[in-house]
Structure 1
Amino acid sequence: MSTTDTRARTRFTGRTAGLMAVGLVLALLTIAPLAVMILGAFKTETDVVAPELLPTAPTTDNFFYVFTEVPFARYLLNSFVVSAVITVVALWFHSMAAYALARLRFRGREALFMIIFSTMLVSLPVVMVPTFVVVRTLGLVDSYGGLIIPAIFNAFGIFLLRQFYIALPRELEEAALLDGASYWRVYWNVVLPLSRPILSALSVFFFLANWNAFLWPLTITSSPTLRTVQVGIAGFQQQYAGNWNYVLAASTVAALPMLAIFVFFQRQIVESIKTAGFR
């Protein structure tokens, strides 16, 4: 082996080791809070507040307390209903809008897409006040409608689906059109079945985003029966500020569905990112 090859291999190995070290540090920084949360959920108040003392045996009393002393199951149900409805309705409308922007020819199509795309640059706090005014005018404050309807529109979903549809072979749709199928039939029988990977990934993104939503549910609801899990944990943290074991137990329960969804759908997420190339 020549000296040049040896040096190149040495540089490559050193660079790889450096990247692996950086990746390991980032992984540890990401996993550490999650590990602290899960371990703290099984500790007593003394173990959490004063870890230097002799630790006691792990306990599940924290979870029992969370589900018996506060309506935490109701918070979980509210979050699930809101997240599921938003995900299903958003995917339905987003896929239709994206297909129209990708395949149909009409005046102002590109301008309309740019307007939709530009909304991705506007953060929620900027539009929260006008959105609240609209919701209040419609009489949807402190209701499931106020939680669900404003969150249905998401420019990211339309953008990603449009890029996916542009990448689909036109021959499949043209063959269906030649057989006499309408655009609605093509969309329903041809496009949607081919969209399962990207729809699966977007369903995960939408569900997790709305499951973790805090600012809008806190603003639009005041009734305890409409609290979502994140708002419930925030109120739980204020009520039991000194009992971090209860707060960590509640946070662990709220995090379990997210972890389970990611574990089961990680392949679809990766495949959708690879196949929905930005064109």
Structure 2
Amino acid sequence: MATATDTGTRTLVSRVQLNRPHGRVIYWSALVLTLVIFTLVFLGPLYMMVTGGLKTTQEAIQDPPTYYPHHVAASTYQTAWTQLNLAKLLLNTLLYAFGALFFQLILDISAAYAFSKLRPALGNVLLGAMLSTLMIPAMVLIVPQYITAISLPFIHVNLLNTPWAIWIPGVASAFNIYLLKRFFDSIPQELLDAASIDGAGPLRTLWSIVLPMSRPIVSVVSIFALVAVWKDFLWPLLVEPDPTKQTLNAGIYSLSQGVPENVLIAASAISAAPTILFFLFFQRNIMAGLTAGSLKG
């Protein structure tokens, strides 16, 4: 029985090799070394950013850099918060992020539901064309998007210095629509047919049956939408020229003239903290939503 189990389970290192003394030492040494290297690669920049905000100005610009603050200046974070008006920039970012989330959920859920369950004519062609846009680099779209924001087609409205300049370009996300469609595909059609027999229309079916079952993937899409606005830099800098209306990243850059290096590093750490905490709190939802709907049956 043991032999059948060992041969039936395919792994990088066989169980027989793992039970040998040298094999076990090599395995655990390689595992620990890999974990340490990846930890340093991913957490090293975050550590340098956080500790850089605790250094004095002279130490922050020192070359070669120090690996820890020799003279801790904890007041640097308070200075960054007040001098760069991070409270205002944070409120702006929250407004743009949750506004984009609201409009994106309405459009993306509707589009994914139509592609998955309503099956419109040429739906696969439209979905393929939409997914093909993922192959276009985002930088290529900056100029046409900016021209569109200056003069919105048909109504010729200038969206600069308004939240709509950030909300509208991010409304339709091909990646999020694809994620939602894949999850909706896993919902049994029998449930929708039963709702239709009971007299429920497509909108009632979406609201009462599909959405309650889709909370994991909706959570993931929501997180992606929020993080996309939060980490964006170039687009908010272009369409929100007024520093008082910019997001955290763009506002820190616009207000950085004459600001000491350690204060800028502290401001960058403050701007990165919400997304890191957001992921730590909702990482289980992210993993569950990404795997939900991947298997049928």
The TM-score normalised by the length of structure 1 is: 0.90
Alpha-carbon distance in 1 for matches of 2:23, 2:293: 31
Equivalent residue in structure 2 for 1:230, among 229, 246, 249: 249
Alpha-carbon distance in 1 for matches of 2:203, 2:110: 9
Alpha-carbon distance in 1 for matches of 2:191, 2:15: 50
Equivalent residue in structure 2 for 1:262, among 273, 279, 288: 279
Q: Tell me which residue corresponds to 1:272.
A: 289
Q: Give CA deviations for 1:192-233 in whole Å, capped at 9, x if unaligned.
A: 111111111111111111100011111212112211111122
Check the 8 A contact 1:62/1:249 in 2, yes or no: yes
User: Which of 133-142 and 63-72 deviates more?
Assistant: 63-72
CA 1:260–1:8: 2 relative to 1, 3 Å: closer
Alignment of 1:1-279 (within 5 A): 6-7=16-17, 9-10=19-20, 13=24, 14-15=26-27, 17-50=29-62, 55-56=70-71, 58-138=72-152, 139-240=158-259, 243-277=260-294
Alpha-carbon distance in 2 for matches of 1:236, 1:16: 49
Secondary structure at the residue paired with 2:55?
coil
CA 1:54–1:132: 2 relative to 1, 3 Å: closer
Secondary structure at the residue paired with 1:153?
coil
Structure 1 stretches lacking a partner, 5+ long: none
Amino acid in the other structure paired with 1:118:
S
- Compute the displacement of 1:166 (Å): 0.3
Amino acid in the other structure paired with 2:70:
P
Check the 8 A contact 1:163/1:278 in 2, yes or no: no
Amino acid in the other structure paired with 2:98:
A
Check the 8 A contact 1:160/1:276 in 2, yes or no: no
Higher helix share: 1
Amino acid in the other structure paired with 2:133:
T
Counting aligned pairs with the same residue, the percent is 30
Alpha-carbon distance in 2 for matches of 1:135, 1:191: 34
Alpha-carbon distance in 2 for matches of 1:118, 1:54: 48
CA 1:278–1:221: 2 relative to 1, 3 Å: farther
Amino acid in the other structure paired with 1:23:
L
Alpha-carbon distance in 1 for matches of 2:190, 2:141: 42
> Number of paired residues?
275
Secondary structure at the residue paired with 1:152?
coil
Alpha-carbon distance in 2 for matches of 1:16, 1:96: 49
Check the 8 A contact 1:201/1:265 in 2, yes or no: no
Q: Give CA deviations for 1:52-110 in whole Å, capped at 9, x if unaligned.
A: 69922x33321222232232221111111101111122112101110110011321011
